[in-house]
Amino acid sequence: MIRLKKILLTVVVVLIVIQFIRPSRNNGDAEGANVISKKYQVPENVQSILKQSCYDCHSNSTKYPWYANVQPVGWWIQYSHVDDGKRHLNFSEYASYSEKKAKHKFEEIADEVRDGEMPLGTYTFLHHDAVLTEEQTKILVDWAESLK
Protein backbone atom coordinates (compact mmCIF):
# COMPACT_ATOMS: atom_id res chain seq x y z
CA MET A 1 0.00 0.00 0.00
CA ILE A 2 2.81 2.39 0.87
CA ARG A 3 4.56 1.47 -2.38
CA LEU A 4 1.42 2.32 -4.38
CA LYS A 5 1.16 5.70 -2.62
CA LYS A 6 4.80 6.45 -3.47
CA ILE A 7 4.20 5.56 -7.11
CA LEU A 8 1.08 7.74 -7.29
CA LEU A 9 2.86 10.63 -5.55
CA THR A 10 5.76 10.31 -8.01
CA VAL A 11 3.38 10.35 -10.97
CA VAL A 12 1.61 13.45 -9.63
CA VAL A 13 4.91 15.25 -9.02
CA VAL A 14 6.15 14.39 -12.52
CA LEU A 15 2.88 15.63 -14.06
CA ILE A 16 3.18 18.90 -12.16
CA VAL A 17 6.84 19.40 -13.05
CA ILE A 18 6.32 18.79 -16.77
CA GLN A 19 3.75 21.59 -16.89
CA PHE A 20 6.71 23.99 -16.72
CA ILE A 21 8.47 22.44 -19.72
CA ARG A 22 6.77 24.10 -22.67
CA PRO A 23 7.43 23.62 -26.37
CA SER A 24 8.04 26.70 -28.49
CA ARG A 25 4.92 28.08 -30.15
CA ASN A 26 4.24 28.53 -33.85
CA ASN A 27 3.15 32.17 -33.58
CA GLY A 28 4.67 33.64 -36.74
CA ASP A 29 2.96 35.33 -39.66
CA ALA A 30 0.85 32.99 -41.79
CA GLU A 31 0.71 35.56 -44.59
CA GLY A 32 4.41 36.55 -44.76
CA ALA A 33 6.66 37.33 -47.71
CA ASN A 34 6.74 33.73 -49.00
CA VAL A 35 3.06 32.84 -48.60
CA ILE A 36 1.75 30.62 -51.40
CA SER A 37 -0.45 33.35 -52.87
CA LYS A 38 2.63 35.46 -53.72
CA LYS A 39 3.60 32.97 -56.43
CA TYR A 40 0.51 30.90 -57.22
CA GLN A 41 -3.14 31.65 -57.92
CA VAL A 42 -5.14 30.82 -54.78
CA PRO A 43 -8.85 31.50 -55.32
CA GLU A 44 -10.80 32.87 -52.36
CA ASN A 45 -12.71 29.61 -51.80
CA VAL A 46 -9.44 27.63 -51.77
CA GLN A 47 -7.80 30.13 -49.41
CA SER A 48 -10.75 29.84 -47.05
CA ILE A 49 -10.48 26.04 -46.97
CA LEU A 50 -6.71 26.15 -46.45
CA LYS A 51 -7.07 28.53 -43.51
CA GLN A 52 -9.86 26.49 -41.94
CA SER A 53 -8.44 23.00 -42.42
CA CYS A 54 -4.71 23.25 -43.09
CA TYR A 55 -3.01 26.33 -41.68
CA ASP A 56 -2.81 25.24 -38.03
CA CYS A 57 -0.27 22.57 -38.99
CA HIS A 58 0.94 23.82 -42.38
CA SER A 59 1.72 27.52 -41.88
CA ASN A 60 3.81 29.76 -39.64
CA SER A 61 0.84 30.52 -37.41
CA THR A 62 -1.15 28.09 -35.28
CA LYS A 63 -4.30 28.80 -33.27
CA TYR A 64 -3.69 26.67 -30.22
CA PRO A 65 -6.63 25.17 -28.31
CA TRP A 66 -6.69 25.48 -24.50
CA TYR A 67 -5.56 21.88 -24.03
CA ALA A 68 -2.27 22.63 -25.80
CA ASN A 69 -1.26 24.20 -22.48
CA VAL A 70 -1.49 20.84 -20.73
CA GLN A 71 1.63 18.71 -20.99
CA PRO A 72 2.30 16.18 -22.45
CA VAL A 73 -0.61 16.98 -24.81
CA GLY A 74 1.05 20.28 -25.80
CA TRP A 75 4.25 18.46 -26.73
CA TRP A 76 2.34 16.00 -28.88
CA ILE A 77 0.47 18.79 -30.69
CA GLN A 78 3.63 20.81 -31.28
CA TYR A 79 6.01 18.06 -32.31
CA SER A 80 3.66 15.53 -33.92
CA HIS A 81 1.28 17.92 -35.67
CA VAL A 82 2.71 21.41 -36.07
CA ASP A 83 6.46 20.84 -36.47
CA ASP A 84 5.99 17.67 -38.50
CA GLY A 85 3.28 19.29 -40.62
CA LYS A 86 5.44 22.31 -41.41
CA ARG A 87 8.38 20.07 -42.22
CA HIS A 88 6.30 18.36 -44.93
CA LEU A 89 4.43 21.42 -46.24
CA ASN A 90 4.35 25.07 -45.21
CA PHE A 91 1.95 27.37 -47.04
CA SER A 92 3.65 30.39 -45.40
CA GLU A 93 6.95 29.46 -47.11
CA TYR A 94 5.57 27.92 -50.33
CA ALA A 95 6.72 30.76 -52.59
CA SER A 96 10.31 29.98 -51.57
CA TYR A 97 10.06 26.38 -52.83
CA SER A 98 11.80 25.51 -56.09
CA GLU A 99 9.46 25.01 -59.03
CA LYS A 100 10.12 21.27 -58.96
CA LYS A 101 9.42 20.99 -55.22
CA ALA A 102 6.29 23.14 -55.49
CA LYS A 103 4.87 21.01 -58.31
CA HIS A 104 5.57 17.86 -56.31
CA LYS A 105 3.84 19.38 -53.26
CA PHE A 106 0.77 20.22 -55.35
CA GLU A 107 0.69 16.59 -56.44
CA GLU A 108 0.97 15.45 -52.82
CA ILE A 109 -1.78 17.86 -51.74
CA ALA A 110 -4.13 16.44 -54.37
CA ASP A 111 -3.30 12.85 -53.42
CA GLU A 112 -3.51 13.33 -49.63
CA VAL A 113 -6.79 15.25 -49.77
CA ARG A 114 -8.37 12.92 -52.34
CA ASP A 115 -7.42 9.87 -50.27
CA GLY A 116 -8.80 11.41 -47.06
CA GLU A 117 -5.36 11.40 -45.44
CA MET A 118 -5.50 15.13 -44.81
CA PRO A 119 -6.48 16.73 -42.62
CA LEU A 120 -5.40 14.15 -40.06
CA GLY A 121 -8.13 12.31 -38.19
CA THR A 122 -6.34 13.08 -34.91
CA TYR A 123 -6.79 16.77 -35.76
CA THR A 124 -10.37 16.68 -37.03
CA PHE A 125 -11.45 14.58 -34.04
CA LEU A 126 -11.47 17.78 -31.97
CA HIS A 127 -11.62 20.31 -34.82
CA HIS A 128 -14.85 19.33 -36.53
CA ASP A 129 -14.87 22.52 -38.61
CA ALA A 130 -11.68 21.29 -40.33
CA VAL A 131 -13.37 18.18 -41.76
CA LEU A 132 -13.58 18.57 -45.51
CA THR A 133 -16.88 18.12 -47.26
CA GLU A 134 -17.00 16.33 -50.61
CA GLU A 135 -17.32 19.71 -52.30
CA GLN A 136 -14.32 21.16 -50.43
CA THR A 137 -12.29 18.05 -51.24
CA LYS A 138 -13.10 18.44 -54.93
CA ILE A 139 -12.24 22.15 -54.86
CA LEU A 140 -8.83 21.51 -53.24
CA VAL A 141 -7.98 18.53 -55.45
CA ASP A 142 -8.98 20.33 -58.64
CA TRP A 143 -6.97 23.42 -57.61
CA ALA A 144 -3.85 21.44 -56.69
CA GLU A 145 -4.04 19.34 -59.85
CA SER A 146 -4.34 22.49 -61.98
CA LEU A 147 -0.99 23.69 -60.59
CA LYS A 148 1.07 20.47 -60.59
User: What is the residue range of 53's domain?
Assistant: 23-147
Count of domains forming the chain: 1
CA angle 143, 93, 112 (to 5 degrees): 40
Cα(34)–Cα(79) distance, rounded to whole angstroms?
23
Task: Establish if 13 belongs to a structural domain.
Answer: no
pLDDT along the chain (148 residues), means of 10: 84 85 86 93 97 96 93 91 95 96 97 96 92 98 94
Task: Establish if 4 belongs to a structural domain.
Answer: no
| Mean confidence (pLDDT) of the chain | 93
Q: pLDDT value at position 97? A: 97
Q: pLDDT value at position 52? A: 96
132: buried, middle or exposed (CB in 10 Å: 19+, 13-18, 0-12)? buried
Q: pLDDT value at position 113? A: 97
**pLDDT by residue (tens digit) across 7-18?**
888 888 888 888
pTM of the model: 0.87
- How far is the first Cα of the chain from the last one, in angstroms, to the nearest whole number? 64
Cα(62)–Cα(36) distance, rounded to whole angstroms?
17
Q: pLDDT value at position 53? A: 97
Q: pLDDT value at position 35? A: 95
